[in-house]
């Protein structure tokens, strides 16, 4: 039960003076505030703030114990509001006064000042919006740059992997070419032993058989040397990023020369039937 109004009969009969009960939101303080004609809102607000030990712009009053209840401004108009005798206001302390309504907004005599400050507040809000938009645009540019760098890095990795794969394929093809040179040289060795079973009808054509054997042996040596030289020339070229126009491959003219001479002697002896098989 809240205590009754201790005002005297004379005071209770006159509407120019009234005691209003207030209590803190935590329930630890309960006190009365005198309302009378002519008192200004700022004085009432300062008095309540001093009573609860808070700053003026950090308190507000509600008609219910909850902070979400209807907010009741402190003014002399409560004297003529016809409030019941047991009407009780709850004083709440806002922990973040920057988000609460200032006391000056409750004062009718300072309304022009608040109206004058409205353009400044709008200007500040517009500046904040522009700053927020600029920050968002900067963040978007930063994200785009990071994505482009990641894309460029991934592209470089893919290109590098493709180059390595191409070099591996070229290296394997170069090795297969070397094996082909070796097989050709081995076929030349087999041909040399075939000449051992041939003899000429005269001393001249016997010398032709011997010449063919020597030329075939020389051809085998040339094939092995040329195949090895060309293999290492291509292998060194594969390791270069930008291949030159000329990379020093051994010419095949010597191979063609020896093979042509051997073919000429063999063709002449076969056509003239000057060779016979033992």
pLDDT over 70 at 39, yes or no = yes
Instruction: Give the lowest-confidence range in 140-154, 173-187, 230-244.
Output: 140-154
Residue 106 pLDDT? 43
Whether 135 is in a domain gets the answer no
pLDDT tens-digit series, residues 27-37: 888 888 877 77
**Assigned token pair, 12:** 């209770």
Indicate whether 201 and 104 sit together in one domain. Answer: no
pLDDT above 80: residue 40: no
- Check residue 165 and give its pLDDT: 79
Of 109, 142, 170, the last residue of a domain is: 109
What mean pLDDT is predicted for residues 73-96? 74
Indicate whether 205 belongs to any domain.
yes
Find the domain containing 49 and state its range.
9-109
Does residue 105 share a domain with residue 167?
no
pLDDT digits (tens, 9 = 90+) for 239-262: 887 777 777 778 888 899 999 999
Within-domain flag for 150:
no
177, 272: one domain: yes
Task: Indicate whether 189 pLDDT > 80.
Answer: yes
99 and 170, same domain (yes or no): no
199 and 262: one domain?
Answer: yes
Domain assignment present for 147 = no
Residue 79: give its domain's CATH number. Answer: 3.10.20.90
The reply to whether 166 and 91 lie within a common domain is no
Look at the chain and report how many structural domains it folds into: 2
């Amino acid at each position: 039960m809240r205590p009754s109004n201790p005002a005297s009969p004379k005071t209770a009969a006159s509407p120019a003076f009234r005691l209003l009960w207030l209590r803190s939101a935590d329930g630890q303080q309960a006190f009365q505030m005198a309302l009378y004609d002519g008192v200004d809102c700022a004085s009432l607000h300062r008095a309540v703030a001093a009573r609860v030990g808070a700053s003026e712009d950090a308190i507000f009053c509600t008609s219910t114990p909850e902070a979400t209840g209807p907010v009741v401004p402190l003014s002399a108009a409560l004297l003529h509001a016809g409030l019941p005798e047991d009407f009780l206001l709850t004083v709440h302390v806002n922990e973040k006064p920057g988000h609460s309504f200032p006391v000056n907004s409750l004062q009718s005599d300072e309304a022009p000042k608040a109206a004058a400050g409205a353009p400044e507040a709008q200007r500040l809000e517009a500046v904040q919006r522009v700053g927020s938009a600029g920050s968002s645009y900067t963040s978007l540019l930063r994200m785009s740059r990071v994505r482009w760098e990641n894309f460029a890095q991934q592209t470089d990795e893919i290109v590098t992997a493709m180059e390595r794969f191409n070099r591996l394929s070229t290296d394997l093809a170069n090795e297969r070419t070397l094996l082909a040179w070796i097989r050709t040289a081995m076929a030349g060795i087999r041909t040399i032993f075939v000449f051992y079973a041939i003899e000429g009808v005269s001393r001249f054509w016997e010398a032709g058989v011997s010449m063919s054997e020597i030329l075939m042996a020389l051809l085998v040596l040339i094939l092995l040397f040329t195949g090895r030289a060309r293999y290492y020339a291509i292998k060194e070229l594969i390791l270069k990023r930008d291949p030159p126009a000329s990379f020093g491959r051994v010419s095949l003219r010597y191979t063609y020369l020896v093979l042509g001479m051997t073919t000429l002697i063999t063709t002449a002896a076969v056509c003239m039937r000057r060779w016979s098989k033992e």
